[in-house]
Amino acid sequence: MQRFGTLSFGHYGHLGGGRELSAGDSLLQAIDLAQGMDELGVNGAYFRVHHFARQQASPMPLLAAIAARTQHIEVGTGVIDMRYENPLHLAEEAAAVDLISGGRLALGVSRGSPESVVRGYEAFGYTGSQDPRGADLARKHFDRFLQAVEGKGLAERDPSSPFGGGHGLQRVEPYSPGLRSRIWWGAGNRDSAEWAGRAGVNLMSSTLLTEDRGIPFDELQAQQIQAFREAWREAGHPGEPRTSVSRSIFPITTAEDELYFGGRQGDDGVGMIDGMRSTFGKTYAGTPDKLVEQLQQDAAIREADTLMLTIPSQLGVAFNLRLIEAFATHVAPSLGWEPANR
């Protein structure tokens, strides 16, 4: 593990006890937390994207705001649901954020997670999918998005236009030359991981895999990463791709931590989600020395270069920053991490 960051679901709404977290509160707290993380040398702040839900849904304004207020931290998504996206508009926005950040965007995209609505992407105007989960639509949008990010000409120039004219095909603008190397695909199984390797994009793997091979989650995920790298090499792509995994990890260093997370340590789970038999990763919660011992045995954490910590963003900036600092101080160095601002 060379890097670590946080993966936030950005939940807002009723918190219980008469407390309410508004959408505005959630966004502003995310910016404040990212600033604190940047000062600690944490490598990345990544955000889940869900539509028709009280979570982050339109991440580009948030990523641009964080990029403008920080110096080192990578800003990104884990992941954008390509079923909902106009691929050329997304390419324009991604390039703008990448330029604002000085090349610190890590844009994770994929088919997306199970939804709270039925085929919500059709309400956004994207119809015609022949797949019950819209995977064909996501891949089609992704292919077009990748062409735009690569700077390929996509629209015929008008030679009679008073605004430049000319002949041939015009790319979308702005264009960020290094962005192509910072695109990630969120893979839920071995097949999609191998596809990402052949496509030449980085790999994000979550705490949920839509397959069950009868082995522990971390070993299943490590095999997925290995298959991805092999597919990358066989496709002839240069260099080494990046890989990330996410985990729920809570260092317990105070009585308050024990109140929230004591007893949360569990085992892997297997169940049905989105019509597929799936494997769920366990939660790690314990004292820092115990976490070091457990995480050093996690096969996927050893295999990946980046670890994303899922954080309880509803608990506020101060609480989350203390959790992250405890991980950075007492756990991460033993896994091979060094601060990004060093």
Burial of 323 per CB tally in 10 Å (0-12, 13-18, 19+): buried
- pLDDT bin (cut points 50, 70, 90) of residue 278 is low
Residue 252 has pLDDT above 90, yes or no: yes
Q: Which two tokens stand for residue 231?
A: 């597919």
Interatomic CA distance for residues 311 and 104, integer angstroms? 21
Residue 263: the pLDDT is 79
Mean pLDDT, residues 78-90: 97
Give me the sign of the Cα torsion angle 143, 149, 153, 159.
positive
Measure the CA angle with vertex 165, ends 159 and 169; round to 5°. Answer: 85
When mean pLDDT is compared over 169-178, 209-218, 269-278, the highest value belongs to 169-178
Nearest C-alpha neighbor of 68 from the set 31, 122, 26, 42:
31
- pLDDT bin (cut points 50, 70, 90) of residue 271 is low
Mean pLDDT, residues 113-136: 92
- pLDDT bin (cut points 50, 70, 90) of residue 326 is very high
What percent of the chain stands above pLDDT 90? 78
Nearest C-alpha neighbor of 31 from the set 332, 341, 317, 254:
317
Burial 134-166 (b: 16+ CB within 10 A, else e): bbebbbbbbebbbbbbebeeeeeeeeeeeeeee
Nearest C-alpha neighbor of 311 from the set 303, 302, 321:
321
Strand-strand pairing, 208-209 and 276-280: antiparallel
Measure the CA angle with vertex 239, ends 182 and 47; round to 5°. Answer: 20
What percent of the chain stands above pLDDT 70? 95
Instruction: Answer whether 170's CB lies under 8 Å from 155's CB.
Output: yes
Angle between helices 317-330 and 288-295 (to 10 degrees): 60
| Least confident interval from 10-24, 65-79, 293-307, 311-325 | 10-24
Angle between helices 317-330 and 23-40 (to 10 degrees): 30
Q: Which two tokens stand for residue 244?
A: 């990330």
Residues paired with 247 in a beta bridge: 309
Interatomic CA distance for residues 33 and 55, integer angstroms? 16
| Least confident interval from 6-15, 114-123, 277-286 | 277-286
Segment 94-123, tens digit of pLDDT: 999 999 999 999 999 998 877 889 999 999
- pLDDT bin (cut points 50, 70, 90) of residue 234 is very high
Residue 91: the pLDDT is 98
Segment 140-150, tens digit of pLDDT: 999 999 999 99
Amino acid at 269: G
Give me the sign of the Cα torsion angle 300, 304, 307, 310.
negative
Residue 276 has pLDDT above 80, yes or no: no
Residue 265 has pLDDT above 90, yes or no: no
| Residue whose tokens read 């109140």 | 259
How far out from the chain centre does Cα 46 lie?
Answer: 5
Residue 209 has pLDDT above 80, yes or no: no
Domains by residue range for the chain, with CATH: 3-155+168-335 (3.20.20.30)
